[in-house]
Structure 1
């Protein structure tokens, strides 16, 4: 009984003290520190292959990633041919079957991956450090000697056809594809999905020709991060890659994006929600103001505490998960506010989005908003670079956009030095409502009458 009374007394004490504790002001955060990039080595082989070695962390693991500057942007009119090639590259080499590669990778504590992107294809794996040299050899074999087995072509084609069908059953994917097409036209950035006929027409010979035209040392960058013996790793890379053919130079094919007051409406009768994208092209990731623009995006719609989210989600309940984002591309980027809103409030939601854009263009944000945004960006930056794979992802991004090492080491100090006035200026310069593209996928019978009441859409050309 005495024990029970003591427990009750203790619990009551905690409950009484809780409000007092909750009301205490937390101590102020310390000044932001620059991200300290570990000492790393850079090398270039005679065939043009670039090498970056980054000692990182304390866990005895190593991550190997080979960036090859090819992807959807190098397909020409053959949309997703690079994806088909990437899938086939997972199916074994001229030396080992896919099953053997998987078993050997698992014994090293990892798994080989191939990832096809818009501008870059990545091949790599993460393994225990003791297998560093073996893993480098396996990655080199996968990238240099893919088997492209004819027996797997139809299965992988069927997988891509299913992925396409699933994606195009989603209104968000339909809206995104239409948005990209309007911004980038016939450039590869504007082509999101192939037709079924197109995907069914691809032959193994086309896959092999794509590989021949786009893979080689001059387009490739081997990056290694983790705990490893630098001399042994460098020697292994030289042994496995130095006799690889130089291959083609990097293809630079920047888009010629167009911005105009355009409205694209796509009908989905009976849809309970309207998928809305509002945006336009913006500055290149290498531009000095790009970080300010990114911070502006976070404040406006790119975080849970952003202005647009607070307005159309928290205050008005028009949508559950709105977001804005900046998509960096070669020599350009595009900004977009994305939301799936209840059909009956499509017009009011669009009005509020434009209203928040105009508000940020006309008046600088408060100091508190800027500081909160900077704290959020500082925290996410640290989390993004807490692993070897995360760090290599950033180095890959920097290489793609020709950014200096100081971009990473000085990132936090730059972010935390951006002022409210600078955010206002980039919003005014780059967020131009009269040049925005608006895409809506939904029940047009219910949506059209609402759009007539949106003042910001006056003068927009419907496509």
Structure 2
């Protein structure tokens, strides 16, 4: 009886496995084409002090998200203020003139949400969420945080120590170090290219400097308030007007446009005994306002910017030199840059660079097959649609338009513009922008082992036709 049951069980398993094998051999159904994105109807208004607001009803979930985005970031620091914007943002979360940090957290929690402050290269974001019926109360709390930060001196030491730890951890990560050196090479005379702030610089910041930076840089004229989700438009507009119309106008929006450097350069940072080398290989390219930008995005995705990209298949799937290579197109204010990044085994540092160079040359000399390009375009279009599938996503996309001074059509026509890219355009884009002889190469690794490989690669790069 036992043998009979065992035979039946084995037979069932074999039948199941055979069915699975047949299913794997069958061609999967073709995926649906991403639809064009339709920007939800939005209400925009501006206050007398220069503050602008954008309100977008979106979805049926009874929650509202709010972002108060101020055009103040690391680009507004002087060389001696490296990291000061981060200290200002971190201290803003420690309370206002009438609420301490604990009271802030408790009040927002009672609204069914949260509030946080984040600082980037160009902007400071005060973002929060709450249940829909509490939207006006959320606006009041966030406005208090924006207009009346206390900057408690008692928290300065803790905030500075936390920031030092974060930067020291980044210095220990080869990827972060390589990216910092890469940006420094491309943007040597701009805040985009600054290295991590030193402990001594962070220790030297005072509360007076924090307050002064806030007074000089923050104001209504640099601020946009975004409201998205399910909310009462009349009540939210009234709340924004009542809470922020009395805020000072402040300085006008201003970001110094960087002048990136394009040059063939190699920077090697020694990491003795490292089993891997971290590679960053790239150059300046155009920003999102340029007519070539969409073709450049698709080209990046095909070359190295997606899991199905050529460089990923080559040095990950075929050669096994690395686990997670990727390329990226960074959109900064009025400028941009492209870079291929990979953590590769030390003994194959030179081989990895050689294969990256091979794939760049191949794309520049031979247009991709329509079928390959179609898959990449579907991926890019689908990714774009996913980014717009939540209120936070809508806010992020709208702010992207604002920062880069782009029309709504940049979003609304994006799917069709992606699908309009031809194989010939991709080839021409690679020829025009992916020029290895003009690329900056940063490598963090065991110098003793990789130096001979890099010298050989440099010699090959000099003979490269592009």
Shorter-chain-normalised TM-score: which range? over 0.9
1:201-244 superposed Cα distances (whole Å, 9 cap, x missing partner): 11111111111111111100000000011111101100001111
Measure how far apart 1:152 and its partner are.
0.3
Instruction: Give the Cα–Cα distance (whole angstroms) in 2 for the partners of residues 284 and 65 of structure 1.
Output: 24
Q: Secondary structure at the match of 2:109?
A: helix
Among residues 288, 291, 297, which one is paired with 1:285 in the alignment? 288
For residue 423 of structure 1, the aligned residue among 400, 423, 426 is 426
C-alpha displacement of 1:274: 0.8
Question: What's 1:48 paired with?
Answer: 50
Q: Distance in 2 between matches of 1:16 and 1:345?
A: 40
How much has 1:382 moved relative to structure 2?
Answer: 2.2
Residue of structure 1 aligned with 2:118, choices 92, 115, 118? 115
The equivalent of 1:207 in structure 2 is 210
**Counterpart among 261, 264, 267 of residue 261 in structure 1:** 264
**3-state SS of 2:114 partner:** coil
Of the candidates 58, 65, 68, which is equivalent to residue 66 of structure 1? 68
The whole-number CA distance in structure 2 between the counterparts of 1:238 and 1:144 is: 14
After TM superposition, the structure 1 = structure 2 runs for residues 54-453 of structure 1, keeping only pairs within 5 Å, are 54-77=56-79, 78-453=81-456
User: For 1:160 and 1:330, how far apart are their aligned partners in 2?
Assistant: 25
* 8 Å contact kept, 1:50–1:221: yes
In structure 1, C-alpha distance between the alignment counterparts of 2:318 and 2:240, rounded to whole Å: 56
Secondary structure of the corresponding residue to residue 415 of structure 2: helix
Secondary structure of 1:304 counterpart: coil
Residue pair 1:323, 1:339 contacting (<8 A) in 2 also? yes
**d(CA) in 2 for partners of 1:16 and 1:262?**
55
Paired residues in the alignment total 460
Q: TM-score, normalised by structure 2?
A: 0.95
Secondary structure at the counterpart of residue 126 of structure 1: strand
* Aligned-partner SS, 1:263: strand
CA RMSD after TM alignment: 2.1
Does the CA-based 8 Å contact 1:451-1:457 persist in structure 2? no
Secondary structure of 2:39's aligned partner: coil
In 2: Cα distance, 1:450 partner to 1:360 partner: 24
3-state secondary structure, aligned to 2:215: helix
Compute the displacement of 1:29 (Å): 3.7
Q: Which residue of 2 aligns with 1:37?
A: 39
Per-residue displacement from partner, 1:369-398 (whole Å, max 9, x unpaired)? Answer: 111111211222222221111111111111
SS of corresponding position for 2:329: strand
Q: CA deviation at 1:140?
A: 0.6
Structure 2 alignment gaps of length 5 or more: none
* Alpha carbons 1:32, 1:416 under 8 Å: kept: no
Cα deviation for residue 5 of structure 1 reads 11
8 Å CA contact 2:33–2:378 kept in 1: the answer is no
- Cα separation, 1, equivalents of 2:443 and 2:13: 55
Alpha-carbon distance in 2 for matches of 1:234, 1:335: 40
Aligned 8 A contact 1:113 1:123 in 2 = yes
Task: Return the offset for 1:15.
Answer: 4.8
Offset from partner CA, 1:112-156 (integer Å, 9 cap, x none): 110000001100201110100000011111001000000000100
1:75 is displaced (CA, Å) by 0.8
Residues 445 and 20 of structure 1: is their aligned pair in 2 closer, same or farther, counting only changes over 3 Å? Answer: closer
Give the TM-score of the pair, scaled to structure 1: 0.95
d(CA) in 2 for partners of 1:259 and 1:391? 34
Unaligned runs of 5+ in 1: none
CA distance in 1, matches of 2:394, 2:86: 25
3-state SS, counterpart of residue 242 of structure 2: helix
C-alpha distance in structure 1 between counterparts of 2:285 and 2:259, whole Å: 12
| Conserved? CA contact 1:351–1:456, under 8 Å | no
Deviation at 1:338, TM superposition (A): 0.5
Would the aligned equivalents of 2:68 and 2:126 in 1 still touch at CA under 8 Å? Answer: yes
Of 18-27 and 369-378, more deviation after overlay is shown by 18-27
Q: Distance in 1 between matches of 2:460 and 2:19?
A: 55
Structure 1 residues 408-463: Cα deviation after superposition (integer angstroms, max 9, x where no partner): 11111111111111111111111111110001111111111112222566559xxx
CA distance, structure 1, for counterparts of residue 310 and residue 259 of structure 2: 31
How many Å separate the matches in 2 of 1:270 and 1:11?
49
